[in-house]
Amino acid sequence: MERILIVEDEEKIREELCTALTKKGYTCILIENFEDVAGQIVSQAPDLVLLDLNLPVQDGFYICREVRKSLDVPIIVVTSSNSDMDELMSLNCGADDFITKPYNMHILQAHIATVLHRAYGRKQNMVLVHKGLSLDILKGRISYQGKETDLTKNELGILKLLMENAGSIISRNDIICQLWEMEEFVEESTLNVNINRLRRKLSELGLEDYLITKRGMGYMV
């Protein structure tokens, strides 16, 4: 699987990113010494770099420019800055994509898959289809027989997990662990609210019994 190098100076975010991406099968390389980050990236030669902008020693713009002098690795800037100027500067420095914090982990993973496919031609499915229902992960939107509706990030995460495991029962605990893997604590009532909202949206599209409850076990589609 692809090797992703993470350049993030906040240890908690760095570790959470690594945990989430490792669960998806990626191999993560963590930068913990911020002297000569560009040199470390070049020597590691990863398949993709997640690069923060606000870093000790040199900022992400400088690192991106230095890496581009000798390596054509895909770079996704992941930053708390949401200014158009920072996005423009990132792209001008050679970044392939720009994502702002706080991000939805499922959306970030979809962007990673898209950039990897664009760079290496490795097909990774951004649209899931099951029983006539289509889920566009990047757009966070479902469609069925000409009708469509947008999902919240939690609804997207739940349905994505269930559709990726169509035909199998996913326990409530597994959904909570997957969906809120970047959170410290989530009450089960939060899951109930999101399941009910998702069911309502599916029903509005004409899919009354799409999301099935298996009492005492979990949910499935």
Query: Of 68, 164, 152, whose CA–CA distance to 113 is shortest?
Result: 164
Q: What is the pLDDT of residue 182?
A: 47
In whole angstroms, what is the distance from residue 63 CA to residue 194 CA? 40
Report which of 110, 128, 127 is spatially closest to residue 24, judged by C-alpha positions.
110
Query: pLDDT tens for residues 164-204?
Result: 889 999 998 888 877 765 454 556 788 889 999 999 999 99
What tens digit of pLDDT does each residue of 94-127 get?
999 999 988 888 889 889 988 998 888 755 557 8
d(CA 107, CA 85): 22
d(CA 107, CA 113): 10
The first and second tokens of residue 51, run together, are 């690069």
What residues have CB less than 8 Å from 162, skipping those under 6 apart? 170, 211, 219, 220, 221
- The enclosing H or E element of 181 equals none
**Residue range 22-48, pLDDT digits in tens:** 988 899 999 999 999 999 999 998 999
> What per-residue confidence (pLDDT) applies to 119?
86
What's the angle, vertex CA 211, arms to CA 208 and CA 216, rounded to 5? 125
- From 64-73, 79-88, 200-209, the region with the lowest mean pLDDT: 79-88
